Structure 1
Amino acid sequence: MDSVAPFQDLNILPDLPTSSVSSSSANANAVPKLEPKLEPLDEPLLAQPPQEPQDAENTVFSNHALDGLSGSPHANFCESAEQEKVYADYYRITEQFRTAFGKGSKGFEDGGALDPDSRAIVPVPQENQAPAVVPTPRRTPRRKELVRVTDLRIEDDRYFRDVIRRTRMIYDSLRVWTSVEEEKRCDLPNIKRLRGDLRASSLMRENDLWLNRERRIVGAIPGIYIGDLFFFRMEMVVVGLHGQPQAGIDYLPASQSTNGEPIATSVIVSGGYEDDEDGGDVIIYTGHGGQDKKNSRQVVHQKLEGGNLAMERSMHYGIEVRVIRGFRYQGSVSHKIYVYDGLYRIIQCWFDVGKSGFGVFKYKLVRIDGQPEMGSAILRFAQTLRTNPLVIRPVGYLSLDISSRKETVPVRLFNDIDKDHDPLRYEYLPKTNFPQFVFHQTGNATGCDCVDGCADNCFCAMKNGGTFPYNLNGLLVRGKPILFECGPFCRCPPHCRNRVSQNGIKNRLEVFRSRETGWGVRSLDLIHAGAFICEYTGVVLTMEQAQILTMNGDSLIYPSRFSDRHAAEWGDLSRIFSDYERPSYPSTPPLDFAMDVSTMRNVACYMSHSSIPNVFVQYVLYDHNNLMFPHLMLFAMENIPPMRELSLDYGVADEWTDAKLSICN
């Protein structure tokens, strides 16, 4: 354990500048209104989460760098011999924690003397050693241990990213599932409206699936990347990015701190206070308290306590804070969006008279250098790029629509790296080209008789097991072996809720040249988890035809080799409901065909491979009933921000995967 994350000594509380004190005393007669710094875009919570215990006896120093999904069984990544080394180092590190926070700590028997040169550290896995994971008790309370995680190896970063991805997938699956439940209740009188975000977080808390409850992480959260976006405050609470359901300042309270001082860990910047100034890399952030919620105006003076004091203490000790920006965003399911923009340092704090004439505390936050570009800046760039592509990017666009209007939305081609324009050589194929014999058995096919739109008891719903695969917003509820959309034999209109993937792409996709992955695909629009993206198209060949073609050295795409585990993961609520059963009907026969993309292809062919993808393949039938030849429809596994590369899991890495990448890149 070579890497440590130092914390400065948290014991001396310096006085504020004299000007701040005099300003405060001048307004001593005004009684400040203490309340969290609420965000104006949030709806009032229908249900508050259980209160966290304030008892200082809850101190726990974990012997692991980070746990995965709290309370869930995980494989131990260390052999027994390596565990002994880990625990030996753990006891050494625990002693350093004790000396760092010994004063006033009730978590140790002796409460040892404080070492003025002590540092709080978090162990980092040694080389060739992944972090050990053990189950934790259910309903884990939020603890007061402060840690900073540094120097993660590539494999550790992938592990934590997958933990975050799976947790968010459960959260989004619960939201979509709740929306279907809400649809069934909408016609019932006097039924309270379901908030999918609150219900999802509540169910996950009951099953102890909230992350980072064992510790308060200072700095970056492992597995959460700059630019990650969230639609709901409770989703950030679930993953531990920001622990307050409504307050804009998340901090370790003084009552839980070993030295009696609060420490801020993250803030949300959304213009909720009239004195806020957001300059991107530099932020003037107004403290909380004393505001009239109705008109967002200051009505009394603020005090240096609670979150305000925590911000000042973080400035004093040089502790960075996470910054999340919240703003309204067209296309968001919640009409707003929260974007993680990285780490900032608080370099200045002062007491000032605000625009409404009342005293407010202000903090100057400066973004730490060397971080990736802010997610909020990328969102604004993508928004401008959608309307003025040639103005924003005068060089690089090879085509504004490689589909030649075959898609409902243009597909752009961008390359500012080299002179490669290979995608222009191929004919664009918007839908898969099946051989004619696939349609022969559709002569006696029947469809639903729904004229105004499909209902739950219609013929097509029965084919899908009695429920529709999509909610009213067109989001896939859960992955299935195969799903049936309404087709040409149905009487329902084109806008039927069961006609989603057959209507083509809805997001503005862009094929782009990348130094890391060759050709790749990204979206200029925000893509919701569970949303349809596009079809993976090609010319379908029988295996006999494929064998003849490969004799000439041509490479083909074999749909049976796409990983199917990700489709099974989407909507899997087995960790929430003990009686949940994964969809198994209808079972699909082996996909005994290949797809030729050597002359005709579409945008999906340029998606990169990833073992932790954000896109998965769902088999769909709508224009024929041959189970052996389904359409390969691509759906989002998570909320995908604009300009983030789309990735697929093409299966086990072998010569076929290399051949596929050779074809498309």
Structure 2
Amino acid sequence: MASLIDLNLYPDPPNTATIAAACATTAATLITPKIEPKLEPLDQPLDVPPEPYPPSNSFLNPNPTFSQNPTPLPDPNLFPEVDQNNVYSEFHRISELFRTAFAKNMEKYDDIQATDPDSQAIVPVPEENQLSTVVVSSRRKYPARSSELVRVTNLGIQDERYFRDVVRKTRMIYDSLRVLVVMEDDKRRSFGIARCPRARGDLKAASVMKDRGLWLNRDKRIVGAIPGVHIGDVFFFRMELCVVGMHGQAQAGIDYLTSSQSSNGESIATSVIVSGGYEDDEDAGDVIVYTGHGGQDKNSRQVVHQKLEGGNLAMERSMHYGIEVRVIRGFRYEGSASGKVYVYDGLYKIVEAWFDVGKSGFGVFKFKLVRMENQSEMGSATLKFAANLRTRPLEVRPVGYVSFDISMNKEKAPVFLFNDIDGNHEPMYYDYLVTTVFPPFVYHLGGKAGGCNCFPGCSLDCFCAKKNGGEFAYDSNGLLVRGKPLIFECGPHCRCPPNCQNRVSQNGVRNKFEVFRSRETGWGVRSLDLIQAGSFICEYTGVVLTREQAQLFTMNGDSLVYPNRFGERWAEWGDLSQIFSDYVRPSYPAVPPLDFAMDVSRMRNLACYMSHSSCPNVLVQLVLYDHSNLAFPHLMLFAMENIPPLRELSLDYGASDEWMGKLSICN
């Protein structure tokens, strides 16, 4: 079982009653000071290389925090507008403040010698006091964040799966709710109802989830890794970081526990967002020089000296106690819903802090962060690697490529084949099939496919929209709004153009994919692009066989796929039952049992190489567009979450049924 450990900062902690009394007294008498946050500036573009990390004598100093020698003042000829006396005075004052900070408190609790970076005085939390990470409350007013610092340890495989599933479902609610908010706003505008600025779906979704008590990790303030969040996970919105408990500040770059909340009266930093918004920031990947907060104007220019308070003070205290911080990097990213992307890059230790004169001539606090060892590769590095791989694959990975397009130009985007493990080139031996091949009778028994007369584009009174229950299945960006038993897209008999909002899955692959050889799963599939939750991925193609044909093919040992076995993951996407008490799972239109199989023994596409997972990141959505036979829909695949580049795609292949037996394909 996972366990929560209390990060009590007293080396010789008093008893529980004393701590409770102290906390109660603090909460009653102290008022949280007004903090000037480090605001989130414009993110740096992804393709901008980090500035070279400069050599500094202070890095070699074993105890540089309280340096007696101030950094030389800027050249007055370069900064004529700066009052040098004031700069030196402020610099000297802050240096003195650093040397004497909290000395009385240290002596009071006899921890003046507690300089070991690993001395965290970790105390186990009693079993009866351990609380679940997920708190669901029916109250509209959600309680404030907890002031109890804990670290989650001893996660077993089952614990990892549980927390991952909790995070995945929470993010799914956030993404689907955000898409729904934007779509409803577009609907109102189409009817001329809405005249105010466009709805911020990210803010509205977060607000509604907070009211419903769906934000994670509010009952404990977690130090270190968040259970269920993996290094490399990608977020498109700052508010989503708040929802999962990664970073509790909607705008500030430093998240911390204030001194008024802390059990020993000292603030502690828990996470930072690094996006190069301060001119003195330096990012070399594993080593970061992070500039403290404060002193900037509305144009992100440093105009006054920074002070040792708020997040700056919390960073210094975290360094003193050796407490790690989570680092999230922000970038501009083309194709992102917000224009930005936030990537969790792992845990860093603050190993050095000092006061310096910044490039603008004002005093700033700097903190040197070093990435802890034995962690997965940084997600930001993977994003940059994938960006280079898309355009210069042989320069980035000169060994391993078998083909740069196994689809032979049949797909709109190439499908790479990569194997640096063995000499198996099996995917090259199959004909690539872009769309499913149905028997001729399918196009006749279902009746003639009627089309809409919308021109130049479809509206809500579209005939195809009415078949979907009076709404489009996708938003204006082509994202799936809600999973349904079946979706009707506009087809060849419709008058609307190819870029119609109701034509998404039939338009084919939009991302670059790579079929790769894996030691764990045999063959697998990963994208070279960042895929947003709700996006179309590809069709699961094959040659459709009837029940009788399937039984004959099975006797011959051919590879068959059985659509009725796939897990109904479509019902999870857009499931807002925790948001709306009257939510009903979509049941229209009703689909008869899928009584057919798909032969992939000779012709197939990239989807056949996706691995099985009980916690998949891809769902199967049934779609009709080129015929009206409900018993033979297309199997369209959509992303259930934000999928970073080079992360393996997975499906829920479900359980075998009585007559078709176990799934047998190349994996």
The alignment's TM-score, normalised by the length of structure 2, stands at: 0.82
Select which of 347, 360, 363 maps to 2:367.
Answer: 363
* Conserved 8 A contact 2:212-2:578: yes
Any idea what the Cα deviations from partners look like across 1:469-494, whole Å, max 9, x if unmatched? 00010001000000100111111111
Q: Which amino acid aligns with 1:373?
A: E
Distance 1:490 1:190, change over 3 A: closer
Matches within 5 A, 1:124-143: 138=139, 139-143=142-146
Select which of 130, 152, 156 maps to 1:153.
Answer: 156
Matches within 5 A, 1:590-629: 590-629=593-632
SS of 1:436's equivalent in the other structure is coil
Any idea what the Cα deviations from partners look like across 1:408-451, whole Å, max 9, x if unmatched? 11111001111111111111111001000001136643210012
CA distance in 2, matches of 1:124, 1:513: 46
CA distance in 1, matches of 2:261, 2:635: 53
Deviation at 1:632, TM superposition (A): 0.2
| Structure 1 unaligned blocks of 5 or more | 13-32, 43-103, 105-112
SS of 1:260's equivalent in the other structure is coil
Q: Which amino acid aligns with 2:375?
A: Q
Q: Which amino acid aligns with 2:40?
A: E
CA distance in 2, matches of 1:314, 1:649: 43
1:633 maps onto 2:636 in alignment: yes
Partner of 2:282: 277
CA distance in 2, matches of 1:125, 1:652: 37
Partner of 1:39: 40
CA distance in 2, matches of 1:10, 1:200: 40
Partner of 1:664: 666
CA distance in 1, matches of 2:497, 2:522: 41
Q: Which amino acid aligns with 2:533?
A: A
* Conserved 8 A contact 1:555-1:659: no
CA distance in 2, matches of 1:228, 1:359: 35
Partner of 2:93: none
Deviation at 1:582, TM superposition (A): 1.9
* Conserved 8 A contact 2:540-2:608: yes
Q: Which amino acid aligns with 1:251?
A: Y
Q: Which amino acid aligns with 2:420?
A: D
Deviation at 1:260, TM superposition (A): 0.6
Select which of 393, 406, 409 maps to 2:410.
Answer: 406
Select which of 381, 388, 391 maps to 2:385.
Answer: 381
SS of 1:469's equivalent in the other structure is coil
CA distance in 1, matches of 2:659, 2:124: 42
Distance 1:516 1:657, change over 3 A: farther
CA distance in 2, matches of 1:487, 1:639: 29
Partner of 2:291: 286
Deviation at 1:181, TM superposition (A): 1.1
Deviation at 1:653, TM superposition (A): 7.3
CA distance in 1, matches of 2:592, 2:337: 36
Q: Which amino acid aligns with 2:483?
A: G
Partner of 1:15: none
Q: Which amino acid aligns with 1:633?
A: M
Partner of 1:217: 222
* Conserved 8 A contact 1:131-1:156: no
Deviation at 1:553, TM superposition (A): 2.4
* Conserved 8 A contact 1:253-1:261: yes
CA distance in 2, matches of 1:582, 1:137: 21
Matches within 5 A, 1:174-573: 174-186=177-189, 187-188=192-193, 190-294=195-299, 296-441=300-445, 444-564=448-568, 566-573=569-576
Deviation at 1:555, TM superposition (A): 3.7
CA distance in 2, matches of 1:320, 1:391: 36
CA distance in 2, matches of 1:515, 1:658: 26
Q: Which amino acid aligns with 2:360?
A: S
Any idea what the Cα deviations from partners look like across 1:178-206, whole Å, max 9, x if unmatched? 11112123344632321000000000011
CA distance in 2, matches of 1:447, 1:654: 36
Distance 1:172 1:121, change over 3 A: farther
| Structure 2 unaligned blocks of 5 or more | 13-33, 44-104
Number of corresponding residues: 571
* Conserved 8 A contact 1:532-1:636: yes
Any idea what the Cα deviations from partners look like across 1:210-262, whole Å, max 9, x if unmatched? 00000100000000000001111110001000000000000000010011100
Any idea what the Cα deviations from partners look like across 1:53-88, whole Å, max 9, x if unmatched? xxxxxxxxxxxxxxxxxxxxxxxxxxxxxxxxxxxx
Any idea what the Cα deviations from partners look like across 1:545-601, whole Å, max 9, x if unmatched? 01111112224111000001x100101111111222221111110000001111111
Matches within 5 A, 1:100-111: none
Select which of 108, 121, 128 maps to 1:119.
Answer: 121
Distance 1:401 1:297, change over 3 A: same
Deviation at 1:118, TM superposition (A): 8.7
CA distance in 1, matches of 2:504, 2:178: 19
Task: Provide the identity percentage.
Answer: 70
Deviation at 1:322, TM superposition (A): 0.2
SS of 1:663's equivalent in the other structure is coil
Distance 1:657 1:252, change over 3 A: farther
Any idea what the Cα deviations from partners look like across 1:506-546, whole Å, max 9, x if unmatched? 01011011111111000001111111000000110000001
Deviation at 1:297, TM superposition (A): 1.8
